[in-house]
Chain A
Amino acid sequence: MKLLYAGELRRMYKYGITGASLAVVLLWIVALHFAEVAAVKLVFPLVLFIDATMMAFLYAGVTIVFENQENTIKSMMVLPITKGEYLLAKSLAVVTSGLFTLVLLVLYATMARGVGVNVPGLVGAVAISAFAFAQAGIIMTYYSKDFTDLLMNMFRFTILLAVPTILEFLNVVNASWLKTLQYLNPTKNAMVLLQGAVVPVERADLVIAVLYLLVLGVLLHRVACRLFDEYAMKGGA
């Protein structure tokens, strides 16, 4: 497992995924640099939210798309490993990438802008959220023909799940029925977790979010494992 995980990290670096992740962080830092301190505190969870949800979703999917395009997925399937280990290593590498982003952003926010954050809380929030969304990204890859299709699916996913959460976060939408419905939305729960490490949130909401994302992550991982054989078969492996 350790070797698989190290291999995933190495390939994320070699295939430019780590570089792309770093570029996104730098863009965020530039954007935050021009904001007021109060605004930084407000926007900071939103930045982490995008990285721990949509970017985790995309990075997990991209690594599988690359492997399918290069036929290396076949090579992986004849190694003495289980598909669970293979997918878990991938997911943990994506979580690591999310944590790497977090470290850079926290360093900037605390040292350059003096924003106080709960670092252990943020680490937990990013890890739990990125893991759950990486599973969603893996599953979505099974239903995407290629990279462009994966991007389109991510776009649909964002419109359907992330946009309502962002609109609620920015107080653009405030309807009570939406707030209730949002408890079922994984992006909303990820946002609650990330917000909780920067600003005070309801304890009950925090507990619900942790449990929801943990259970969702485990369930989606099991689904990803179960559907993997069919995907490998479809991909001509």
Chain B
Amino acid sequence: MFEVKELRFRYPKNKDYTIKGISFGFSQGEIFGFLGPSGAGKSTTQKTLIKILKGYEGEILFRGQDLRTLGPGFFNEIGVGFEMPVHFSKLTAMENLSFAMQLYRQHADVETLLKRVGLWEDRNKRVSDFSKGMKIRLNFVRAMLNNPKTLFLDEPTSGLDPMNARIVKDMILEFRKAGGTVFLTTHLMHDAEELCDRVAFIAEGEIREIDSPRNLKLRFGRRIVGVEYKDGEIRKEEFDMDTLATNDRFFDIVKTKELITIHSGETTLDDIFIKVTGVKLSA
């Protein structure tokens, strides 16, 4: 669907490149996560893919066509969810959506979308009266407004309470199930782990790793089993997972001690990110 080759981008007044020659691609029906800390170049990359930033070096192909050659019709194919609210505050939610919707070739069912994110009852309220969470949910509806084939989402659950974050994540998964493609930029590793088929780690404008969350965990995880048990005092021991079946000490603890916890040594994407990039993600 999208193929990015040696992409480099520098803001006009900057001396250094923000994006330093990155290459990646993602296919139809895939949720591709672009992960990194603030200032890593995630949003800049997304803005080049959605034609907001021009003057980049390298090549971006959309369905085999150079992005530079595509006209405004390209925006009928994609939906964009920005990190910050992008609504006219003195217009109601419905007025905002109606204005944008009229300009698209195809339309989604706004009532269904608004009901799903819990904004239908507030559709005639001015956006200035919305909370931040409501504006973020409206951002998501705005992105889905034209029944896009590809969604670009920048931190879609940032600022949402767990219940609404769940709804948005479910809608993203349903969109993928229906054949849609998602380019997701986030610093929330938990979201990436739950949603993404593949993730790219970006730090200081360079991609350091691309793989599925599962493969990354297998590659970077420790194959151990940790057992916490009570033996007068609380003790903890770790065992090699590959030789577990023949480890007498492990079976002795399981049979004779009072177990408190038992875990495999899977690592988190956060840990892998730090290991790969040397950069810590902010919460």
A interface residues with partner B (beta carbon < 8 Å): 3-4, 7, 10-11, 14-15, 70-72, 74-75, 77-82, 229-230, 232-234, 237
Contacts and interface: CB of A to CB of B under 8 A. Distances in A.
B88 A14 contact: yes
- Say which size band chain B's interface belongs to: 20 to 34
A78 B87 contact: no
Given A82-B72, A232-B52, A233-B12, A75 B103 contact: no
Contact of B82 (A7, A71, A80, A230): A71
Contacts of B90: 11, 14-15
A75 B89 contact: no
Contacts, number: 71
A14 to B, nearest CB: 4
Nearest to B85: A71
**Contact residues of A: prevailing secondary structure:** helix
A183 B82 CA distance: 48
Contacts of A230: 12
A72 B99 CA distance: 12
Interface string B98-112: 011011110000000
**Contact residues of B: prevailing secondary structure:** loop
Contact of A72 (B11, B78, B86, B95): B86
B86 A75 contact: yes
B91 interface: yes
Contact of B105 (A11, A71, A75, A80): A80
Contacts of B103: 3-4, 79-81
- Which of B11, B84, B86, B87 has its CB near the most chain A CB atoms (within 10 A)? B86
Given A71-B82, A233-B11, A237-B52, A80 B104 contact: yes
Contacts of B102: 3
A14 B91 contact: yes
Given A7-B99, A15-B90, A71-B86, A78 B11 contact: no
B62 interface: no
Contact of A75 (B51, B73, B76, B142): B142
Given A75-B100, A75-B142, A77-B51, 8 more contacts: A11-B88, A15-B90, A72-B88, A74-B52, A74-B86, A77-B52, A80-B103, A82-B71
Nearest to B50: A78
